[in-house]
Amino acid sequence: SAKFFVGGNWKANGSTASVAKLVDELNAGTIPRGIDVVVSPPFIYIDYVMQHLDRAKYQLAAQNAWIGGNGAFTGEVTAEQLTDFGVPWVILGHSERRSLCGESNEVVGKKTAHALAAGLGVIACIGETLDQRNSGSMFKVLDAQMDALVAEVKDWSKVVLAYEPVWAIGTGVVATPEQAQEVHAYLRQYCTKKLGAAVADKLRIIYGGSVSDTNCKDLSKQEDIDGFLVGGASLKGPAFVTICNAAG
């Protein structure tokens, strides 16, 4: 099975004081060998975290990147700049960027291709809203999100796919292990069909949405759950370290 992957998405949270405390807590944690753990601070704290976090245990990710190269794009940070700075990963297509910043499936597909070409690994996020799930269009929505990635991505070896149902993000309403497994298995099948079994078997499909130190173990036992993308609980060092130790 694939190498366990845990991402901590800090979103737009933190201060110099809280980031310093969180870094200390993370450095004190024991992380199993042979897994990938990636923390994703806001851009402005990446330099501090890079200098102080134990990078034998933790890697870094940005939470977004511009769709293209350097230039007159005020307020943006490019994939090339992240590579230059030594940041190996980027989260793209998070539901908050899709819904609050208007990022379409096509934009997320193009951003993903650009980031991969610049040498980054990409945590590509997809997921349905509650309305879409309840109205029976969940698989259609996921297909469209996946189709836009498949249209742009040539090499999937540096992609981690994050399934984050929108209704579970920041709500405390975690998907049940069965709900998550159903979608992860569906996504694996989709990838087998479109990309071949070799790619699909190796692809890490991680779950995000109200993951906590108490629900992570049951989720990680599911066959097609290869790790987690953690929001709120990643802001608490001990809880996040527990989640990192939940490999099924």
Residues that bind ligand 13P (CB under 6 A): 9, 94, 164, 169-170, 208-211, 229-233
Q: Based on CB atoms, which residue is closest to ligand 13P, 109 or 209?
A: 209
Q: Based on CB atoms, which residue is closest to ligand 13P, 132 or 210?
A: 210
Question: How far is residue 59's CA from residue 31's CA, in Å, rounded to a whole number?
Answer: 12
Token pair of 11, please? 């979103």
> Least Å distance between CB 174 and ligand 13P?
8
Q: Based on CB atoms, which residue is closest to ligand 13P, 93 or 109?
A: 93
Question: How far is residue 198's CA from residue 62's CA, in Å, rounded to a whole number?
Answer: 28
Question: How far is residue 85's CA from residue 102's CA, in Å, rounded to a whole number?
Answer: 27
Q: Based on CB atoms, which residue is closest to ligand 13P, 66 or 240?
A: 240
Decide if 52 is catalytic.
no
> Least Å distance between CB 180 and ligand 13P?
13
Work out whether strand 159-163 and strand 59-62 pair parallel, antiparallel, or are unpaired: unpaired
> Least Å distance between CB 72 and ligand 13P?
30
Question: How far is residue 63's CA from residue 206's CA, in Å, rounded to a whole number?
Answer: 16
> Least Å distance between CB 100 and ligand 13P?
12
* Annotated active-site residue in 80, 94, 128, 184: 94
- In order of 46, 72, 220, the CA distances from 205 in angstroms are 25, 35, 11
> Least Å distance between CB 230 and ligand 13P?
5
Give me the residues paired with residue 121 across strands.
89
Residue 106: left if φ>0, alpha if ψ -120 to 50, beta else—which one?
alpha
Q: Based on CB atoms, which residue is closest to ligand 13P, 80 or 95?
A: 95
Q: Are 202 and 165 in contact (CB under 8 A)?
A: no
* Annotated active-site residue in 96, 103, 164, 184: 164
Q: Give the residue at shortest CB distance from ligand 13P.
A: 231
Residue of 80, 83, 79, 81 lying closest to 92 (CA atoms): 79
Decide if 94 is catalytic.
yes
Report the catalytic residues: 94, 164
